[in-house]
Amino acid sequence: MEFTVWAGLAGFGFVLLAVGINVVYMRGRLPLPVSSDGFDAVSESFAAVGEALKRPSVAAPAGWVCATVFAAGMLSVLWDGGSGTQAWALVGFAGVLMQNVTFTVVEALRFGMAEAATRNRDALAGLWSLSNVLFGFNQVFLALALLGFSAAGASADFLPAWHVILGYLSAALLFTSSSISPYNATGANRAAPLGLVGWLGWVAWIIACGITLLRH
């Protein structure tokens, strides 16, 4: 089977895992980054989460594998488009790798916060702020992935105009949300929905890319 097929399937896999993990967190009322709840409520949630925190995290490494294979597939099909296209494709690939690395830390911090909630709430306050800001800053890497691969896809005539525009708009929203992350240190603020809309655009963009890769 061609690698582009694997890459397209990996894109779908990443989306399914990302959405599924978030659904498990929300249905289980597990604490999420930049929660709008106050610190006391967050502390109680982490103290009570117990073993339930581990179940959704088991699937996280598979999501990062899928994201990397998807990004490698995009890079492979865009590599023959000339130096400019190659450079933008590398920007996109770097964005995916960096978001994998950063979100690994965000995911690990959840376990640190759960432990701190039962032993040292003062430590939890610092870890909570670190997690919130890091989670927000991570969005700049999603923006880079969207910007790089969209620009390369447009240059190589691999992505249609609407797909490229979706990538640029989602990247702009994610970059804006990332830039205001310091104001989310203690929880979500009024501008936080920008990141959510940008993330939904990122998900839709990946699905469309996956279909394009399967057809390539």
pLDDT digit string (tens) for 16-53? 999 998 888 877 677 777 666 677 777 887 777 777 77
Q: Give the chain's end-to-end CA distance (angstroms, integer).
A: 12
User: Which domain, by its residues, includes 89?
Assistant: 3-215
Q: What is the pLDDT of residues 136-172, one digit of tens each?
A: 999 999 999 999 999 999 999 999 999 999 999 999 9
Q: What is the mean pLDDT of the chain?
A: 89
Determine the Cα–Cα distance for residues 87 and 79; give it in Å rounded to an integer: 9
Model-level pTM? Answer: 0.92
Helices and strands counted in the chain (H then E): 9, 0
Burial class (CB in 10 A: 0-12, 13-18, 19+), 114: buried
pLDDT at 147: 97
Under DSSP, is residue 187 helix (H, G, I), strand (E, B) or coil? Answer: coil
Cβ(111)–Cβ(52) below 8 Å: no
What is the number of domains present in the chain?
1
Question: Nearest 5 degrees, angle CA 132-CA 135-CA 136?
Answer: 85
Task: pLDDT band for 83, please (50, 70, 90 cuts).
Answer: confident
